[in-house]
Amino acid sequence: MSEQKNEDLTSEEIPEAAIAERKGISMVWLIPIIAILIGAWLTYKAYTETGPTITITFKTAAGLVAGKSKVKYKNVEVGQVEEINIRKDLSGVDLTVQMNPGIKKYLTDKTDFWVVRARIAAGQVSGLGTLFSGGYIGMDPVAEGKRARKFVGLEIPPPITTDVPGKRFILQTKRRGSVDVGTAIYYRQIKVGQVLDYKLEKSGEQVDMEIFIREPYDQYVHKDTRFWNASGLDVSLSAEGITIDTESFASIMLGGIAFDTPASLSKSGIAEEDSVFWVYKNRAATREQVYTEKSYFLLHFDGSVRGLVPGAPVEFRGIKVGQVLDVKLIIDIQKTDVQIPVLIEIEPERFVISGKDAKQKFQKIRQQDKSQDRRIVMEALIAQGLRATIQSGNLLTGKRLVAFDFYPDAAPAKLIYGGTYPEVPTIPSGIEGITTKVAGLLEKLDKIPLEKIGINIEAATANLAKVTGTLDQLPLEEMAVALEGAVTQANRTLLGSAALMRPDSPLQHDLRNTLQEISEAARALREMADYLERHPEALLRGKGK
């Protein structure tokens, strides 16, 4: 019945479907878009949370394991070693390290990495925990500098990291001695810092050392502070006895450097970072004032200069004014002449000229020519009796020194020019002078005709005995004749003796000179004995002021 009804419907009566275009995004695409957004967010999150990947180069990877060894800062993990590969040239190993995101801003060219292992250095033991847990990479992060992703690791951990407050200074010295990286710096026997590094200066004349002084001790380093080598024991022998100076037992075994500001110097303010200081050989050397002006003079000695070596002090009444630079021996084979020239260095700034007129005179000359000023001063002093001599510096060591003093009785002399250096007149030393006088005295005693005088006295005695023996055998008249002959002979003997004992006779002249020489020698020995009685320390230190 339904089929018949459908056949009755005409084609015009069939309805048509209406087609319309839809605007906007279809709901079908919503799911893929959400998936893309979620993936992008996950990718961004993974990127931001992963952190940068860096490469660190070491000479060896001892104690490190890929996928296990960590990078730590203050014992907090900030990264992990992912891969360890040998370099193509076999010069070392490259470590691929995945760092934490928060450490990114500290990856600069000033940041340092090193391997923490068990170490014993400079008397300190570190990294013992790595014996059980294995080694790890230490880090000293620095935010300043250029961004970097490749680093060269340190083979030795830095003594001081950048987060420790304090100042760095530069020390200069001729010899490194026992100082090494990590050597302690002392202030009043308190450890206040250490040596960071050392290297030979470009000219090769000295060693530059970088040191670090912690806060608050860095405020005690002034511009006029003196540093000295405190390694080992500083032993000195003086009239007061033996003095031993050291900073600590550690400095004896491992070395050390100490510093202080001499009380005699005016403090010129706290030193700035990277200031340069000189290292003195010991504490005593820091008390010596430094003089820049030098004058050079030549001395000639005829006697022995045993014990006088380069570096020996030049003193004026016990005060050091310079040092000996060179001692030579010149022999003229034809004339059999021996000369011992000694070159000395004097520091003119040690001498202070008093007197208003003299100051004005020498100040005017100094403005024109300093060297001329020094020579004029030396000429004036020599005219007043200034002479150089050699004295014993220490009887135990046999060391000698050059001493200047005034000798009013010395023969007139002048400063001699003509050579490379002006020559200052000298006199024999005290012992040498006594030896010369004794030798001259013995020579004069040899010239006295003692044998002739003895023969005359012996002849006179024999004649007198002969006359006395014959008196008993002669009659009275013959005795008178014999007595007259004896008197005549005795008269002749007395006349001969009188001739020898005349004031103007050679014998009298020689005897007077001999007695005078004996008196002078005895006076010199007496003066020496009196001086030694008042100053027994001169046997150790030599003649003082």
Q: How much is the pLDDT for 238?
A: 46
Dihedral (CA of 172, 177, 179, 184) sign: negative
Which of 228, 157, 226, 166 lies closest to 192 in space, CA to CA?
166
Q: How much is the pLDDT for 212?
A: 95
Buried b (16+ CB within 10 A) or exposed e, 71-102: bebeeeebbbbeebeeeeeeeebbbebebbee
Q: How much is the pLDDT for 417?
A: 86
Q: How much is the pLDDT for 81?
A: 94
Give, as one character, the DSSP assignment of residue 291.
-
Torsion region of 51: left, alpha or beta (phi above 0 gives left; psi -120 to 50 gives alpha)? left
DSSP sequence for 369-412 = -HHHHHHHHHHHHHHTTEEEEEEES-TTT--EEEEEEE-TTSPP
Q: How far apart are CA 510 and CA 500, in angstroms?
A: 11
Q: Is 149 helix (H, G, I), strand (E, B) or coil?
A: coil
Q: How much is the pLDDT for 94?
A: 95
Q: How much is the pLDDT for 293?
A: 78
DSSP sequence for 76-125 = EEEEEEEEEEE-TTSS-EEEEEEE-GGGGGG-BTT-EEEEE--EEETTEE
For residues 328 and 340, the answer to whether their CB atoms sit within 8 Å is: yes
Within 8 A by CB and 6+ apart from 248, the residues are 184, 186, 189, 191, 256
Q: How much is the pLDDT for 531?
A: 66
Cβ-defined contacts of 116-121 (< 8 Å, 24+): 116/72, 116/157, 117/62, 117/63, 119/157, 121/156, 121/181, 121/182
Give, as one character, the DSSP assignment of residue 14.
S
Give me the count of residues in the chain. 545
Give, as one character, the DSSP assignment of residue 288.
S
State pLDDT tens for residues 107-158: 999 999 999 987 765 555 566 566 666 789 999 999 988 999 999 999 888 8
Which residue ranges in the chain fall short of pLDDT 50? 1, 238-241, 249, 545
CB atoms within 10 A of CB 211: 27
Within 8 A by CB and 6+ apart from 182, the residues are 121, 122, 124, 159, 194, 195
Dihedral (CA of 459, 460, 463, 464) sign: negative
Residues paired with residue 86 on neighbouring β-strands, in sequence order: 93
* Cα Rg of the chain, angstroms: 50
Q: How far apart are CA 125 and CA 97, in angstroms?
A: 28
The CA–CA distances, whole Å, from 376 to 355, 370, 409, 420, 422 equal 16, 10, 22, 17, 12
Two tokens, residue 218:
């860095």
Give, as one character, the DSSP assignment of residue 205.
S
Flag whether the pTM goes above 0.75.
no
Which of 189, 203, 204, 117 lies closest to 154 in space, CA to CA?
117
User: Which amino acid is located at 523 in the chain?
Assistant: R
Q: How much is the pLDDT for 147?
A: 92
Two tokens, residue 85:
């590969």
What is the helix (H) or strand (E) element at residue 136, kind and residue range?
A: strand 136-140
For residues 300 and 306, the answer to whether their CB atoms sit within 8 Å is: no
For residues 489 and 463, the answer to whether their CB atoms sit within 8 Å is: yes
Two tokens, residue 347:
């520091």
Q: How far apart are CA 464 and CA 496, in angstroms?
A: 15
Q: How far apart are CA 529 and CA 470, in angstroms?
A: 58
Dihedral (CA of 317, 322, 323, 325) sign: negative
User: Which amino acid is located at 142 in the chain?
Assistant: V
Q: How much is the pLDDT for 53?
A: 92
Q: Return the residue matching tokens 């005593």.
A: 284
The CA–CA distances, whole Å, from 457 to 461, 462, 463, 469 equal 6, 9, 10, 18
Query: How far is CA 529 from its chain centroid?
Result: 38
Give, as one character, the DSSP assignment of residue 287.
T
State pLDDT tens for residues 204-230: 888 999 999 999 999 999 988 999 988
State pLDDT tens for residues 252-286: 555 689 998 877 555 678 999 999 999 988 887 87
